[in-house]
Structure 1
Amino acid sequence: MSGGRWIALALCAALAAGVWGVWRGAIEVPPRFNPWAPLDVTAPPDWLTGFKVMRAHRDPARCMAALAQTGMQFDAVPDRVTGPGCGFENAVRLRAAPVRFGGPLTLSCPMALSFFLWERHALQPAAQAHYGQRVAGIEHLGS
């Protein structure tokens, strides 16, 4: 093997060992830089937020844990099929959120979590920047 291949092999092995160490918890990494750390819904979005949101969307327990951090008041809704391709799975009924939305609203946990992240990190900063005030309420037509 040539010297360049040995260096490439050593770098790949070091990278794999580092990833394995972070994944197993042997190497301490701040949560914002750790792709396996739970989603912090209050932290500003960064380069790993999309990955952490995707993990929460795929795992109902992880989604509910993230949703519990939001401060929104909600109740879990039992899974229910209402027709072909219709119904509720991993759903919640929102009773209160940081922004008023006009009555109870039933959403899937991933949708409720995405709503909170959008409201906190996109809608409110944009409203503050353009109008000098926060959005007080959102009218919805159902989900």
Structure 2
Amino acid sequence: KLFFNRDEASEEEKELRNEELENIRQVFLRNSQVILKSLDNLRGVYDDDLIDFFIDGRLDLAHKFEKGEFIDSYIVHTETDYVKDLLLGFQEERRMIDHYEQSERISIIEANELRKNVNLLESYSISGEVNNVPLKRFVKNFNKE
């Protein structure tokens, strides 16, 4: 359909879309149960922290899916304007770090650490993944230091 006709979906099309979304939700939940059970069975074979990492990731994804945020966040991440704004923001962060380093407000070591953090945040922000469990762990470890 043309862009301006997309919102004019018939009741039948809307009902079909809702039915499809419900089917996807059911498949996702069944798969999540199988995945979580399989991961739990791997305890003792692999490091518990690694297993917990994957379990946390799946639970976080399931939580987003249940709240209806998964598809919305996926769509936002595929918008070119969103990615462009992110890249401009990270470019500005790096420019400010360079400015502070050149004016000797921060040391070279501090500047490099800040750049490393900006790079890490950028990689999580613009990757195709909507999973933020690794970022949560990074922040948790960062706060411990």
Same topology, TM > 0.5: no
Structure with a larger share of its residues in helix:
2
Q: Tell me which of the two structures has the higher relative contact order, counting C-alpha pairs closer than 8 angstroms and 6 or more residues apart.
A: 2
Length-normalised TM-score, structure 2: 0.30
Structure with a larger share of its residues in strand:
1
Length-normalised TM-score, structure 1: 0.30
